[in-house]
A and B are shown apart, each in its own frame.
Chain A
């Protein structure tokens, strides 16, 4: 093409607008991204392995009881997904849970009505979330530092409140929160609660302006500010919600245990964050789905349950969960590399593959740590 012969005014020479209005948005299933499908596959694998490992797995009673064990995690994970998508973090949730439960226990020990005590605990936890939100959204402290501070602070308050005492002897109406079942079914009340809230949180994240703002903040906070998104108010809101949900998880956990000590729920925050990240929520913010997070919680629950049935020690279970996290992230990275540039044998790919194999081996090793015959029952 001879350039000099082309002469026309600008813009007019450009082809007409090429956007196709009818180009459909990807269908829901297509948007159910690869990550979620991988989780679905892992869940199926976990179910198959579990059911071959032990006849007790596919037992409705067992499933019902076990599922309740993960609901505190789930309740805290829902707002954590929001927070991580905005590019922040909340390390203080489990401490806040402890503060809420301890405050309630103290009031209960002082013969306050259990529902008033529970409400007060919930209010204190919400206040804790407000403090986090204030430090992060208004004082503009980095979320990691601010919640690392309140992580120690809230737990400290729990110990100050309860000391060496314990709250116990809660009335059945209260313990129903953690131990009861929805009438006429085997479904624990806490599971029902989580299911309803998961749907609500999922709809808010994916179907409302608030959810869209959460994604836009995580992707580009500055551009969101310029676009008139009230970034500070939204951050504040999600931290308050996170505090409230940590409080709710505290009530459910106290009800499930039937007693409260100040160290209640210690360390749960890491499992909560693990569940969110394993669910495909990008720790750098901007990316994530609620279905993915819920699937990953299910997966963690199944793996722990399976190992529990086989009497695998708790510490070993942690190793397995940790390997699972690294494994799935490696798997996604391998899949991305292959889809981007085809199979290539350079050092980086070989190193990734080696890491994958090592972690995979470690995972299996620890999964079947306790008894070798287990291998036979799976493969034999």
Chain B
């Protein structure tokens, strides 16, 4: 123990004299921990929020009745069910915006609500009366109150003018949820007489009339946990994506740790040998090194966990917004984490430190006490090492290829990328060394020769930092390409999808008919395009069925990926169906084949006549003729409409419709507004990716800076002889700077094909597996130049400090190199 203690003290004494090296190690480990634990925090937080939301309905155990075909439930149906003996409790869900932030508003009826259903403490200390009787109460989790910036008792205004009832905090309420009385919810959401689900209080007994008899098939019994399971499945890909990017960034951080630790190991070799010579056993040495790592992991890990929390908090709004917009998953805007997360953060710091330092530890364990005095052995070992690297690299590429050929899920998609990146990372130093060798061969002037040779000599010390840079740049090229490609595709697709100038949803079928007949008299309305929807499950996957007309608007604009010659005519005849790309991929559907769709009247088998892109939709979608839909799903509400309107008449028409029909129109928006919302969802989703991407680049810059700084002293000894032969310091500094830029540029050049391969993997493999759609693969040379410039700038900034330090080295300091020489 005493041995280990004094060895540890001695090992630690090194850092006092090498603070830059220590900083690199510390920062690297902290960053790796931060990125990992930050992403984990987001994932864990989101999952916890789903759990709480699910437990709102009695731990996901409450059954409920939901509309068979989507849409709303008429309140009369609730009463009808109660009078028939069905013990159901009404609820209405809807989203309200408060200062632009979405919150789920749920209206419940406290008297009939089953006891197991947990929306928090409904009674409070004033009883149910206060909750239900005007003005009522809004019950929300304390963190929701914080998100709203509201004090207890405040009446928070929702966007659009109305105010929530006075708010009351309740610990048991799921975050992001605003619970009000059913009547208040109907008023706030502008949906009088409408419900969205009926929670079953108790199983009906055998004498109770069956559901179909009472509701005529309008409602179906939703098994407990169905929605939760759907949400989990739908969001799984999103979280996996987040995890993968977090892991990638974490790996870049660990590269820094590895580089810094490797350098420290080299620098401490003499010290370690001395200690071994005076009687330190290798076991005690490794124990002390492990102790050092543990201390470091604890310190850097703690800092990393704090930074991770901060990172997660910063990303949370975007993550929450995308989860809400894409999947309807409610995630509270405030992180609440437990000790498990903290421990896992420290755990990853320790594990990361161990992995990054494993090489050093292994070497320490097997370190011969005497230095072998045969320099050729080093060269041979280096060659062996390079050969092994090349072999490993090939192996990684092969594994990547195998994952691509045989892999079938998102994990294999990431395995493709991992193999590609690993292979490239292993191969890059060899390529760089080769390039430098060619440079050396072609150089004639002595200084140029020295420049190339010296660069080659420096390569091992810098290779890890350059590899980190390579990965960061490749990720930037790849992800940047994907995001930009998606942006273009998405915008184009939106233009095709959103052709109608005005969209609206009527409160019910009767209202829809009234509005329809009114609109038919309006001269500015060029076409009225109704849509009806219902939901089915195809192979267990929730799938929307949308009925549409085969109007010219769609024939000429609706984006398609593939279609048979007379697709729209077949759809119009009612025996053709268009399927979304996601659905086609998931169920392996081929154009021209039949699709079996369950309907109330049995299985319907229309022909698949087209495949259309449906970006951002986590569910499958079928498009059929609206009349065909009405025949097979008579209860499907036909309440949404698109209007072709002369562009200059749009706003006038909307105003006129609103004043004419008021609450009969549930939603109305013009094309521009919908496009804005869609684009915002898109931006939210990729904001997180972009942020992690940028962080990766920053981290690689830190890696480069760390390597250069730690190399500084060694450089002095290498450069001093050149200086002694008469090359001025200024010139040497310039050459140093040039060298870094050259290496960076070379790295950037290698990163380009790697980045493109990555982008291709993302759009053609990962995206397909994660979301079910494939994006066109675009090239963005402008973006590459930007990234190259960014890389050079990054390297320039990283190299600046060491170079300035070098330029300021006094002749005396350089001369001392010789004094120390033996």
Query: Is B truly associated with A?
Result: no
Chain B interface (Cβ < 8 Å from any Cβ of A): none
